[in-house]
Chains A and B, each alone.
Chain A
Amino acid sequence: MVAFLTAFSLFIASFGVQVVLWRIRVPRNQTRALLLVFGIAPLVLATFWLAGAAEFSWPVPSPADWIGIGLFHAAATGCYLIVYTGVEEDSPSITIINALEAAGNAGCSRAELASRITENRFVRPRLLALKRGRFLEEAGDGRRLTARGRRAARTAVMLSRLFNIHESV
């Protein structure tokens, strides 16, 4: 049980660190900041835990358990990063659900929903995020892929072929 509780506590504590930092100031590049927080915070916290354990005889996971704890933390952080993209930016499906939830029993017509699904709300922020992440660069009256963007796009195409994915809008 020590291994599970340690893994769970480290993740929750890392989230706590994020809440505190984000309340002070929301970072410009949130994904990178999240990686730093969830990468560094558990190492610092685990070091304090081990130091405290030597002093106060707290229960400590075995060395092999730390590998499992590390894997748990990495996997949970991956999930959280995915979930966080939905917090950082609106998704059309979530926007529709939020609008319908807010409308309650009255519901919404297509026209009312269409007023919320706009290019400025969905297309533009993603273009800016791709530029901020150095996947795209300005070129003339548009943009083109950077080397990083090309790698990411080719990986996406390769995965689509591998898993027989036919994209939808």
Chain B
Amino acid sequence: MGGHLPLFAVPLAGLVLDVAAQLVLCRIPMGIGHVRRQFMSFAAGMAAVAIGMTVLLARRHLPGADLAGYMALHLLTYAFLGFCFFNVINANLGALRVRMLKEYLAQDPEPLADVSLNARYEVGAMLDARLARLMDGRQILLTDGRYRSQPGGVTLIAGIFRRLRRLLLRR
């Protein structure tokens, strides 16, 4: 068992590197947004995992299929862990639920009336911010006063959500 132990530690080490790189990158003024910084730190972790796995697997005399299997297992594990970390940061950037919790905390221990919360949540402003973000990311285009979708990451994600919703929730 001891000989196999380091393999599963590699994606965990990659995640630690991802977090550490993000802690450094978020403090350096680079003129780029959070998402791009997150991709940079994620890529650093992925490169470290790929190198670490290559070094560790080179010491073992395994058939090609097993090498590919271990590589896929641990690279995917890192990718999943990285995705979770990415979303922890992103939830703090724009998730409504997290933002609401912060609104309640600012008022704590006093209750926050629904009317006050709704006033802070002007849906028009929310729409404009989302439209601006989607246009920045070239996910949508504005021509002749009308918005149109563009093929891209968000469109792909929206399609996955639609299919999952149909499969699981039948709506």
In B92-132, which residues have CB < 8 Å from any A CB?
92-94, 96-102, 104-105, 107-118, 121, 123-127, 129-131
Contacts of B12 in A (CB 8 A): 71
Chain A interface main SS type: helix
- Binary contact readout A1-19 vs B (1 if CB under 8 angstroms, 0 otherwise): 1111101000000000011
A101 touching B26 by the CB < 8 A rule?
no
Q: How many A-B residue pairs have CB under 8 A?
A: 248
Q: Closest approach, in angstroms, between the C-beta of A166 and any C-beta of chain B?
A: 8
Q: Closest approach, in angstroms, between the C-beta of B69 and any C-beta of chain A?
A: 3
Q: Closest approach, in angstroms, between the C-beta of B135 and any C-beta of chain A?
A: 11
- Binary contact readout B125-153 vs A (1 if CB under 8 angstroms, 0 otherwise): 11101110110000110010111110000
A105 to B141, CA, bound (A): 11
Q: Taking A94-B154, A94-B157, A145-B105 as contacts, is the C-beta distance between A164 and B26 under 8 angstroms?
A: yes
18 additional A-B residue pairs with CB within 8 Å, beyond A2-B66, A5-B69, A143-B111: A2-B69, A26-B168, A64-B2, A68-B7, A72-B73, A94-B154, A98-B162, A100-B147, A100-B149, A110-B147, A114-B127, A126-B97, A130-B101, A141-B111, A145-B101, A163-B22, A165-B93, A167-B99
A108 touching B146 by the CB < 8 A rule?
yes
B114 touching A149 by the CB < 8 A rule?
no
A65 to B5, CA, bound (A): 8
Contacts of B167 in A (CB 8 A): 19
The 7 closest A-B pairs by CB, nearest first: A64-B4, A1-B69, A75-B80, A139-B111, A107-B146, A142-B113, A4-B69
